[in-house]
Structure 1
Amino acid sequence: MRFTVIGGTGLIGSQLVGTLRTAGHEVLPVSLSTGVDLLTGEGLDGALEGADTVVNVTNSPTFDQDSPAFFRTTMGNLLAAGDRAGVRHQVILSIVGVDQVPQLDYYRAKTLQEELLRQGPTPYSIVRATQFFEFMEPTMSWTSDERTVRLPATRIQPIATADVVAALADVATAPPLDGILDVAGPDVFTLDELGRRTLAARKDDRTVVTDPSAGLFAAVTGDELIAGPGARLAPTHYADWLATPR
């Protein structure tokens, strides 16, 4: 099969490109750095020519009120170019619980992206993942100083990006779902607990303070970010991931 991976040079995209190529597929990774601009449509027609499946793992450059406009424009351009090229399957990466947290601008934007895909001309699949292990460090940096890290007790079910990539590859190489697959890590934590475990593993002597108003995830007060009973549970545990040199 021939794939075009939009955002193919990023954290998820570069791993997905490698996974698909190892499986024997022809893969074209595209991004701004390769001359493809989703916002203007520049380079899209050439990038999608001959592609069977397009996997879109791009991110908005901001997580604020500007993000809905980004996804509206980029999905419109991508779906139109895919239709012109005869693409048979469009896949996007989204977030578990994305439609249950309307108070977050970015989650509203991702919900819009999903809706545009569903309404588009091409059979589709949506892979919703929980929060990545790799994002724990930047999440802590938003609300930290030299002595403390402030985190809410939001319940999350984090996942390794390698496991997200495996799920994306399986979905992309199969017939379109015309629906959603949730993927999640094997364990549920509160965010403050996960912060303590992370600092201990890093031998970082800062203290985690439970603060219900701290950071992006303070807006989530229930189990919206926890995967439901039909989710695909990944094999990698956070403790094992922390202990693995990178």
Structure 2
Amino acid sequence: MPRPRSFMQVDVFSTDPYLGNPVAVVLDGTDLTDEEMQRLARWTNLSETTFVLPPTTVAADYRLRIFTPGGELPFAGHPTLGCARAWLDNGGVPRHADRIVQECAVGLVRVRRAGDILSFAAPPLVRDGALDEEYVDRIVAAFGVKRDRVLARQWVDNGPGWAVVRLPTAEEVLTLEPDLSLIPTAMVGAIGAYPEGSEHDFEMRTFAPGVGVAEDPVCGSMNAPP
């Protein structure tokens, strides 16, 4: 039988229970195979499941692998924060009191500690610039909107592969009912502005059929790029 392993589920991006984005954290992922990690990620059925491992560099406090139901990601935002919280709460002691350094496939990610608040510094973009027109046409077809409703479109890829389109209003983003079968390998986000004077500036939604996640409740990696 597999040996017992410490496990937590952390609700990220909210101080109110059940209003954030949950992530599964296996606090000791040593000796697990890739297939076993992937199987566990499918079993939790969360957008991400993470595995804490010993670092391979003295610059990091721990190493993290991040799996979705459909595959592994080199970086993701809410898993980074949720894992850092779980690691600290289970006795992890960082080398520096004011920050945690996480090693993942995209490189070293720094997580700042300010009291009980954790915030990560986004890794550099691995791809930016405008989306090609053929890809935009596929996205608008999946979103069920007219091409002229896209005000801007670009890559904001710091590891997961996000492509983002901007629509004129937050309401249009909220009412999207995308046909993800038209973009089965996509990692795509939509953003739209609220009217001036609203409580929020923008509405953002992220769809990740490419890794087996129809919609991510709150996506740190897509929000992070400048």
Q: TM-score, normalised by structure 1?
A: 0.27
Q: Which one scores higher on RCO, CA 8 angstroms, separation ≥ 6? A: 1
User: Greater share of strand residues, 1 or 2?
Assistant: 2
TM-score, scaled relative to structure 2: 0.28
